[in-house]
Amino acid sequence: MSALEGLKAAIDRIILDPRYHDIFSIVKAARNGAVYGAKVRFPHALVMILLFRSGPIREKLHLIFKATRQHAKNLAKFATVYKLTMMALKHYGATPGKEGPYDTFLSGLLGGYLVFGGRSPRSGKISSVNQQIVIYVFARVVLATARLSVKPNTGLPIISTPEISDKISHHAWPVFASLSWACVMFLFRWHPEDLQPSLRSSMHYIYQQSNDWDSLRTLVWHNK
């Protein structure tokens, strides 16, 4: 028992040594990326595949596992690339030992290209999981940029003045929400093939399958 305690103490000394902090932060980031990716993707894949995919249960379980594994793996890979690049720029950049003002941008650029910018070597298509992740990030970037543009005294010169900023902030969300739904409904009606597959499936379930029934059972309880 004492030998195990000694080994544990030695390991703790190594992982808590400030000299190795950057290296272990990469390991921790990869671990956290994998865990978070699995936690986020598994319930989403479970619901979407069980509800909207046809086929035997074994095939569905395989698709759920595949989507969960890819999401977890890609977030872990991105975290590793990002942290490694940040560490390299910190030590070998213009000001060694300090983080540069654009290090995060460059590290994200490289990680995004290597992890999420590729296509499947077999089909030549972009992974649907990667599409969803990138679209999610892009939507948050657009929203944050819009907020930043009207931030009083720090955003764009004209619209960031306090009076105009308050008015835009008050009315921007309902305009954004209504235009977003107007556009997606128009696209679903006239160009459904260009929408993301899971969105198209859920909208088909709500708006098209609601047009058909042949009894009280298929009206209320189950689709025709």
Closest CA to 86 of 103, 68, 62, 105: 103
- Per-residue confidence (pLDDT) for residue 202, from 0 to 100: 87
Q: What is the mean pLDDT of the chain?
A: 91
Counting residues of the chain whose pLDDT is more than 90, the rounded percentage is 62
* Residues 169/150, Cβ–Cβ less than 8 Å: yes
What is the pLDDT confidence band of residue 72, given thresholds at 50, 70 and 90?
very high
Enumerate residues 6+ apart whose C-beta is below 8 A from 64.
Answer: 42, 45, 46, 49, 50
Mean pLDDT, residues 179-200: 93
Mean pLDDT, residues 122-126: 84
Convert the pLDDT of each residue in 22-48 to its tens digit.
Answer: 999 999 999 999 999 999 999 999 998
Task: With a cut of 60, say whether residue 97 has pLDDT above it.
Answer: yes
